[in-house]
Structure 1
Amino acid sequence: MLRAHTVEQVRAAEADLLARLPQGALMQRAAYGLAHAVLDLLGGGYGRRVLLLVGPGHNGGDALYAGVVLARRGARVEAWLLADSVHEDGLAAFRAVGGRVAPAGSAHDGFDVVIDGILGIGGRPGLRPDAVAALEAVAGVPVVAVDVPSGVDVDTGEIAGPHVVADLTVTFGTHKGCHLLDPAALACGAVDLVDIGLDLPPAPIEALQPMDVAALLPRPALDGHKYSRGVVGVRAGSAAYPGAGLLSVAGASCGLAGMVRYDGDEVVLRQVRAAHPEVVGPGRVQAWVVGSGSDDAAQPALSAALADAVPVVVDADALAFADLARGRDAVLTPHAGELARMLGAQRSVIEASPLEHARRAAQEYDAVVLLKGRRTVIAAPDGAVRVTTTGTPWLATAGAGDVLGGLIGALLASGLCPFDAASVGSWLHGAAATLAAQQGPFVAGDVAAALPALLATLTDP
């Protein structure tokens, strides 16, 4: 499990470790990890030209000590000091190995990499004008951020004003919220985690990894049958939007549940049976998927599903009536526009602070909320959060959400709790899209078609 801790948690863990280590040892661990990540990026140090953007405090000290390591490996390292007071010992060590200190924005013959040591995890969002000017002077040069890209909100992933856009972020001890949550995650580039020996408490934000998904996936019992494996029902699609019903069924028919039932428009039912002959008609189920393309039938379809007192996925048209599912075993699956309507907010505000609004919606509706996006956020009413890091830009295609809803429904029917079903389903959805993209651009049905091959890599024969 990839875990993201808060600034407060990290500082407490660092203070505990510092009390047990010789002075300066923790910074040296971070600096060596940073320097070696830069060496890997550059393919070596000899003759490379490195610029350090040095701010106040420990983050600037990490950059200076990393510059010492790089200089010893033959790099030409220059530092621009962007604060009146920087880490004194680090600066002395940097000068001692021949590091050059120059005014910010000085003329130069080009750099191979810029190390962003302007602000650390204690920095406020945004950058001062002198830092912005320094970054503009080296525009186009690859940037390695120290711990976090300077100028982003570390815990929430929000952005307010100018900030560093890194090609690589080297972080220490644990991931932070900004490494997982958009919009800041877009500014991080690749993220390299350096273990510095922190003893950390449980994290408020998690991201599933393949081993976690494999451990959570349902597997048939030796004496199992189609009913014991779970039956998922789909109430989706309409004469106006038959494709939504087909795609919801396609997601539900991934093989994780023992049976799929379709209960909806007769026109859609005929198309479903032609495409998925294993799908049967109405009957008892262990979970419902409701809303995709349901049009005017969304409210009665959701009411009927809730009357069965089984877990339900509330998607698309049914989200307008999500208050009916308040306090139930439900997964609500809005995109930013739909969540904006649910919360009475602007879409741009939702997109600027997805963590805050996913958590708020989960509390207000007393249900699991899956806020779709490049980095999908899954929030539970108790405050637990998971972020999906799988996927590809090609997944931004019509009908992909319908497939996701059906997939989550199958996981609910097979016995996963709403929080696990939503986070596992979202991870699988993104990973299947990545698999489908190996053949080029794709449509939503290709994501559903890729699920069996993906699941084969995660489950025992």
Structure 2
Amino acid sequence: MKLVCNSQMQEIENLSFENNSSSALLMDNAGKSIAEVVKNIIETHNINTKILILVGPGNNGGDGLIAGTILFTEGYDISIYVCSPRNNQDNLLSKCIEKNIPVTSIESSNFMSKLISDLSNCDLILDAILGINANRPIVDPLTKVFELIECEHTNRLSKYDSNMSQPFVISIDIPSGMNSDNGAVYSHAVRADLTITLGFPKIGMFTENGLSHTGKIINLPIGLSKYGEHLSTEVIETEWIRSELPTREINSHKGDSGKVLVWAGSRKYIGAAYLSCMAAMRTGSGYVTLITTPKLQEILASKMTEPIYHLIPENLDGNLSYNASYSNVTSLKSNDVTLLGPGIDQNTESRRFLMNMLEYSKTVETQLVIDADGLNILSQTENWQSSFHKPAILTPHPGEMARLMKTSIETVQSNRIYHARTAAVDWGHYIVLKGACTIIADPKGNCRIIPFANPVLASSGTGDVLAGMIASFAANMNSPFNAATIGAYIHAVVGEIMSERIGKIGSLAGDMLPLIPSAIMKLSNKEFIHPIIIDK
């Protein structure tokens, strides 16, 4: 599903106007569609029908007025609060007044007292105050309105022990007060249970802060879909993942399921080798070969017996020896994918061997995936971007991304999509910027967002699991971009399953491994329901 920023949405609307559409027509389409969604919610949740519609001065408010008029005509108990003065020639507001819909204006002396009373007695709030152009702090009297909404919302949540199944606050297009481009809240913003977004979801909704305000999301096309085919940013949906998942023929053998070579782990980070290798195997790789030292192999073999071990020289500590070089891997058979970096440490020997492995990769046809310490070593290497024979998949978390970019984590997090896209284009590699709503960007400037944010994945080792999963899919697919996308999405689905079965606190990266096949099966069998995006 394509995403837009504010300027792109305006361009798309202008394109529609050039093709015999109009602002009034789009507003009418939006209002009708919103009314249908609200009616469906009321019927689904068996909600009483007292609805407050809070409108502002612009088209967002117009959408709310049209939806309110339709709902009132069909017998719903509607009250409209005009929270910011509208144009005196406003036909939409005049129509509401003509139909005897209760309308209270911000200019009324009893506005606040009446709103307080109605908020405590209503069943739904429809937030149509501000649209996608909000880009500055909220000031009085809107500040007070937002505070009253938040207070009543909090009261409802506490009543239902924060597990309220039915929506109470529904925002139109975007929660009022939130920046549609980056999810920023300058002072106050409505915290919705559901956002009915119009035309296209907005990029700012799929940021860490955005998700905490939008709640669940329904997108209503309102006749604009055909004008967004050129958009380069999209949020990934379950149906797309299902359609792109690799399949196995009934007569396939292990050689058909992808060969992955892994260099991971050290005495300090033994678990990284286990997690990345087993993730690749659990994701479906037929062969996984681990490059490791004899002492580490003795430890790892007691925990994982499925991978093949390729031993390289070690020092007295059992770590990689300085003598380990290019010649130690030339005997390896060709592999579809080579994963380098999880837990390899950043010592001199590891740095030297990583550069040897990059040289080795130029002599064989293998897709590189670089993670963790592999990225940290690159960040300390001059002109590292030219060390590859073809675009690699790089999987940084924000700290590693900041080191690669020579900037701060705060800068990276301030505009994750921009920085992931810019890096992918400038460096010529695929970027998987991990975090809430992981971003995958390709060298052509296309961006995909994985619409999940789950604290269960905030645990050491989950990144090693992701690296192994992406490597496995890359070994089974011709598109590194698709492999990285599918790997990140299913990794997030595993997180959702782990949260339900084990809990958000105390779950370990190793707990993910046996759940990977379950996640793939749930997606294949259409058993997975996305926790945020609602299929209208």
Q: TM-score, structure 1 length as denominator?
A: 0.90
1:360 aligns with 2:413: no
SS at match of 2:470: helix
**Would you say 1:320 and 2:391 are equivalent positions?**
no
SS at match of 2:209: coil
Residues 98 and 251 of structure 1: CA distance in aligned 2, closer, same or farther (over 3 Å): same
Instruction: Work out the CA distance in 2 between the residues paired with 1:413 and 1:76.
Output: 57
Counterpart for residue 288 of structure 1: 338
Give the equivalent residue in structure 1 for 2:118.
110
Q: CA deviation at 1:255?
A: 4.4
* Alpha-carbon offset, residue 396 of structure 1: 1.8
Deviation string for 1:272-320 (max 9, x for gaps)?
3333322102323221112221112542343233222322221111112
Letter in 1 for 2:37: A
The 3 A distance-change label for structure 1 pair 292 and 86 is: farther
Q: Say if 1:305 and 1:125 are closer, same or farther in 2 by CA, change over 3 A.
A: farther
Cα displacement (A) at 1:222: 6.0
Tell me the CA shift for residue 206 of structure 1. 1.8
Asked if 1:96 corresponds to 2:98, the answer is yes
TM-score by length of 2: 0.78
Which is worse superposed, 332-341 or 208-217? 208-217
Q: How many Å separate the matches in 1 of 2:237 and 2:514? A: 22
1:226 is the counterpart of 2:254 = yes
Q: Give SS of 2:2's match.
A: strand
Aligned residue in 1 for 2:2: 3
Query: Which residue number in structure 2 is paired with residue 193 of structure 1?
Result: 219
Cα distance in 1 for partners of 2:88, 2:393 equals 49
Q: Render the CA deviation track for 1:213-244: whole Å, top value 9, x for unaligned.
A: 23322334566543343211111111111111
Q: Are residues 125 and 288 of structure 1, via their aligned partners in 2, closer, same or farther at CA, if it must alter by over 3 Å?
A: farther
Q: Distance in 1 between matches of 2:412 and 2:438?
A: 12
Select the residue among 498, 510, 513 that pairs with 1:436: 498
- Kindly report which structure 2 residues correspond to 1:370-409, keeping only aligned pairs within 5 A, or say none: 370-390=432-452, 392-409=454-471
Contact 1:127–1:150, Cα closer than 8 Å, also in 2: no
Residue 352 of structure 2 corresponds to: 300
The alpha-carbon distance between structure 1 residues 300 and 23, as it changes in their structure 2 partners (threshold 3 A), is closer
Q: CA deviation at 1:445?
A: 1.3
User: Is the 1:54–1:83 contact (alpha carbons within 8 Å) kept by the matching residues of 2?
Assistant: no
Identify the range of structure 1 (61-70 vs 385-394) with the bigger mean alpha-carbon deviation.
385-394
Q: Does 1:138 align with 2:149?
A: yes
Cα 1:125/1:340, change in 2 over 3 Å? farther
Q: Distance in 2 between matches of 1:385 and 1:149?
A: 24
Q: Which range moved further: 88-97 or 148-157?
A: 148-157
Q: Does the 8 A contact of 1:251 with 1:448 survive in 2?
A: yes
Distance 2:171 2:524 in 1: 37
Please say if residues 283 and 473 of structure 2, whose CA atoms lie closer than 8 Å, have aligned partners that are also in contact: no
Take 1:93 and 1:47, find their aligned partners in 2: how far apart are those partners?
A: 25
Does 2:520 correspond to 1:455? yes
Judge conservation of contact 2:207–2:436 (CA < 8 Å) in 1. no
Tell me which residue corresponds to 1:59: 60
Identity of aligned residues (%): 27
What's the counterpart of residue 271 of structure 2?
243
Distance 1:252 1:270, change over 3 A: farther
2:469 & 2:208 partners in 1: Cα distance? 24
Q: Which runs of 5+ in 2 are unaligned?
A: 154-167, 311-331, 526-536
Is the deviation greater in 44-53 or in 361-370? Answer: 44-53
Determine the C-alpha separation between the residues in 2 that align with 1:31 and 1:61: 8
Q: How many angstroms apart in 2 are the aligned matches of 1:251 and 1:221?
A: 22
Specify the code of the residue in structure 2 equivalent to 1:241.
Y
Moved more, 178-187 or 54-63: 178-187
Aligned-residue CA RMSD (Å): 2.7
Q: Which runs of 5+ in 1 are unaligned?
A: none
Corresponding position: 1:182 with 2:183:
no
Please list the CA deviations of residues 320-357 of structure 1 after superposition, one character each: whole Å capped at 9, or x if unmatched. 23353556421111112222222233323322321122
Would the alpha carbon gap of residues 223 and 47 (structure 1) be closer, same or farther in structure 2, given more than 3 Å must change? closer
Match of 2:338, SS state, is strand
Which string of whole-angstrom CA distances, capped at 9 and with x for unpartnered residues, describes residues 125-144 of structure 1? 54344322211123233422
How many equivalent pairs are there? Answer: 459
Indicate which of 418, 437, 440 corresponds to 2:480. 418
* Contact map agreement 1:288 1:305 (CA 8 A) in 2: no
**CA distance in 2 between partners of 1:93 and 1:122 (Å):** 26
Larger radius of gyration: 2
1:346-392 CA-to-partner distances (Å, cap 9, x unmatched) read 32332232112212322343211111112111112221000112463
Q: Which amino acid is 1:300 matched to?
A: R
Deviation digits for residues 28-47 of structure 1 (CA, Å, limit 9, x no counterpart): 22112222333444458996
Q: What is the 5 A alignment of 1:135-214?
A: 135-139=146-150, 140-141=152-153, 142-198=168-224, 199-200=226-227, 201-214=229-242
Task: Please give the alpha-carbon distance, in whole angstroms, between the structure 2 residues aligned to 1:220 and 1:47.
Answer: 50
The superposition leaves residues 388-422 of structure 1 with CA deviations (integer Å, 9 ceiling, x where unpaired) of 12463322222111100011111122234321121
Deviation digits for residues 150-175 of structure 1 (CA, Å, limit 9, x no counterpart) = 23332344444433322111112222
How far 1:207 sits from its partner (Å)? 2.5
Counterpart of 2:138, as a letter, is L
* Contact kept in structure 2, 1:239 and 1:265, CA below 8 Å: no
The one-letter amino acid of 1:218's match is P
Paired residues of 1:290 and 1:298 also in contact (CA < 8 A): no
Tell me, yes or no, if structure 1 residue 335 matches structure 2 residue 397. yes
The one-letter amino acid paired with 2:26 is L
SS in 2 for 1:163: coil
Q: Does structure 1 retain, via aligned residues, the 8 Å contact 2:208–2:453? A: no
Maintained 8 Å contact 2:174/2:180: yes
Instruction: State the SS of the aligned residue for 2:177.
Output: coil
**Residues 459, 25 of structure 1: alpha-carbon distance in 2 compared, 3 angstrom cutoff:** closer
Q: Distance in 1 between matches of 2:405 and 2:89?
A: 46
- How many Å separate the matches in 1 of 2:370 and 2:47? 58
Deviation at 1:429, TM superposition (A): 0.4
- Residue number in structure 1 paired with 2:326: none
Distance 2:86 2:197 in 1: 25
